[in-house]
């Protein structure tokens, strides 16, 4: 007996017998012909709230396509399959199966059964992937176009026989090649760390030693940008369970950002504080700051507050996405405090060894 034939033999009291529908992952909603909900299974109640029975379907799923197809299904007595995309307050995506139900299932003589398959997470993952590919392609294409243009000009363009002009193009070609190289390196780093994010490092790492190393390695660059670094570490052990190379990536990117997104001559204050169960790292600059509305998006891949400025200072927008994954891998937590025009502070709390 098919599910629908089985339901045909039900009446309103039969709704009480449909407890088995509570075991379904999918949401099941039954409407009377006025589109009011006369039954919702457990999954639907968990999703849309405990008081949905008696409410109109449009109060929980405001989608004109759904409402039209319910009417159509009642009039032509045929099942429909449609996609439902809800944008606000949260993005939701469902595949809905609308089936004309048996009479007398609700109090009225017609009913409509809606099976909803929640595909929100799958949709989001797919969208994220295609956005990512589009972003990567765009980011690679921009420097590639400059390189191609430069080479064409040298090869057959106005610089073909002009050694001086050829020399002028070289630094641009080299700079754009370096940009592509750092983008590819960041992408590789990101994909590697994503794969390893769930594996907590098992080796000992000394945060004080690593931070001092990062400051030393970057001293020439910091001098060039006239950035002054003040670093203070509490006395005691600064050991955590950590991957030295990955931790170097965190501190390098945060230090690079602090000096990059500040005017020349900026003071960057870094500290390492030992707490009862954790070690708290802070890096604070008095640079351009991050507008409040962008703070939640700042660790997204390719997100830059000011893409033009980032281009000028050589940012790919992957640094903080990498930092976030490494922080997670170390079971640490990150907090960002910032005020536009005043400066930014990144705080990372690592569990103590
Ligand atoms: N200390 C900071 N002060 C102000 N803005 C910042 C700071 N750190 C990051 N940002 C903003 O966040 C964006 C993302 O930073 P992120 O480190 O991910 O990328 P990036 O520095 O542009 O490029 P990359 O690190 O890949 O070279 C930056 O483009 C900048 O707009
Ligand atoms: Mg950066």
- Spatial CA neighbour of 190 closest among 301, 286, 264, 114: 301
Q: Please work out whether the CB of residue 250 comes within 6 Å of at least one atom of ligand 1.
A: no
Centroid of ligand 2 to alpha carbon of 151 (angstroms): 29
Task: Give the per-residue pLDDT at 7.
Answer: 46
Task: Give the per-residue pLDDT at 15.
Answer: 63
Q: Are 291 and 305 in contact (CB under 8 A)?
A: yes
Q: Please work out whether the CB of residue 253 comes within 6 Å of at least one atom of ligand 1.
A: yes
> Measuring CA to CA, how many Å separate 182 from each of 114, 153, 185, 188, 195?
51, 25, 5, 10, 20
- Sequence spans of domains, the chain: 3-118, 122-196, 197-353
Task: Give the per-residue pLDDT at 11.
Answer: 53
Task: Give the per-residue pLDDT at 16.
Answer: 65
Whose atoms come closest to the Cα of 262: which ligand?
1
Q: How sure is the predictor about 177, in pLDDT bands with cuts at 50, 70 and 90?
A: very high
Task: Give the per-residue pLDDT at 306.
Answer: 87
Residue minimizing CA distance to atom 21 of ligand 1: 315
Nearest atom of ligand 1 to the alpha carbon of 319: 25
Q: Which fold has domain 197-353?
A: Heat Shock Protein 90 (3.30.565)
pLDDT digits (tens, 9 = 90+) for 76-117: 989 999 999 988 878 899 999 999 988 777 777 788 999 999
Task: Give the per-residue pLDDT at 220.
Answer: 93
pLDDT digits (tens, 9 = 90+) for 252-294: 999 999 999 998 888 999 999 999 999 999 999 999 999 999 9
3-class DSSP state of 92:
strand
Mean pLDDT of the region 215-233: 94
d(CA 135, CA 171): 26
Cβ-proximal residues to 75 (8 Å cutoff; 6+ apart), any chain:
none
Q: Residues whose CB is under 5 A from ligand 2 (ion)?
A: 253, 257, 319
Centroid of ligand 2 to alpha carbon of 217 (angstroms): 16
Nearest atom of ligand 1 to the alpha carbon of 283: 1
Q: Please work out whether the CB of residue 310 comes within 6 Å of at least one atom of ligand 1.
A: yes
Q: How sure is the predictor about 3, in pLDDT bands with cuts at 50, 70 and 90?
A: very low
Given this structure, which CATH class describes domain 122-196?
mainly alpha
pLDDT digits (tens, 9 = 90+) for 329-338: 999 999 999 9
Task: Give the per-residue pLDDT at 74.
Answer: 87
pLDDT digits (tens, 9 = 90+) for 295-323: 999 999 999 998 887 777 777 899 999 99
Residue 14 has pLDDT above 80, yes or no: no
Q: Which residues of 282-313 are buried (b: 16+ CB within 10 A; e: fewer)?
A: bbbbbbbbbeeeeeeebbebbbbbeeeebeee
Task: Give the per-residue pLDDT at 259.
Answer: 94
Interstrand relation of 267-274 and 228-233 (parallel, antiparallel or unpaired): parallel
Q: Please work out whether the CB of residue 254 comes within 6 Å of at least one atom of ligand 1.
A: no
- Spatial CA neighbour of 262 closest among 232, 283, 281, 231: 283
CATH number of 3-118: 3.30.450.20
d(CA 313, CA 308): 9
Centroid of ligand 2 to alpha carbon of 261 (angstroms): 9
Residue 6 has pLDDT above 60, yes or no: no
């Amino acid at each position: 007996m098919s599910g629908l034939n089985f339901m045909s033999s039900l009446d309103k009291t039969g709704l009480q017998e449909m407890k088995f529908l509570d075991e379904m992952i999918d949401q099941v909603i039954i409407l009377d012909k006025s589109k009011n909900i006369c039954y919702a299974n457990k999954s639907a109640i968990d999703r849309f709230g405990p008081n949905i029975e008696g409410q109109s379907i449009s109060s929980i799923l405001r989608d004109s396509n759904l409402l039209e197809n319910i009417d159509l299904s009642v009039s032509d007595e045929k099942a429909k399959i449609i996609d439902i995309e809800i944008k606000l307050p949260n993005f939701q995506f469902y595949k809905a199966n609308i089936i004309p139900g048996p009479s007398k299932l609700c109090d009225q003589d017609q009913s409509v059964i809606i099976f909803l398959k929640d595909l929100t997470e799958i949709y989001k993952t797919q969208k994220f992937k295609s956005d990512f590919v589009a972003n990567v392609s765009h980011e690679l294409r921009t420097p590639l176009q400059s390189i191609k243009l430069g080479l064409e000009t040298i090869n057959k363009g106005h610089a073909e026989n002009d050694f001086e002009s050829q020399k002028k193009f070289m630094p641009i070609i080299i700079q754009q090649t370096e940009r592509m190289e750092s983008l590819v390196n960041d992408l590789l780093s990101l994909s590697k760390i994503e794969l390893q994010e769930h594996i907590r490092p098992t080796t000992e790492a000394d945060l004080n030693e690593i931070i001092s190393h990062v400051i030393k390695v970057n001293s020439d660059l910091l001098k060039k940008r006239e950035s002054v670094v003040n670093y203070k570490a509490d006395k005691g052990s600064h050991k955590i369970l950590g991957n030295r190379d990955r931790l170097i990536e965190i501190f390098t990117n945060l230090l690079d950002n602090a000096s990059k997104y500040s005017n020349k001559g900026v003071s960057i204050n870094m500290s390492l504080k030992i707490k009862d169960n954790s070690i708290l790292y802070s890096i604070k600059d008095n640079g351009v700051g991050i507008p409040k509305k962008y703070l939640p998006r700042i660790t997204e891949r390719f997100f830059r507050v000011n893409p033009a400025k980032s281009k000028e200072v050589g940012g790919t927008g992957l640094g903080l996405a990498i930092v976030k994954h490494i922080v997670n891998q170390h079971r640490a937590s990150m907090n960002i405090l910032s005020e536009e025009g005043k400066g930014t502070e990144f705080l990372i709390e690592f569990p103590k060894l």
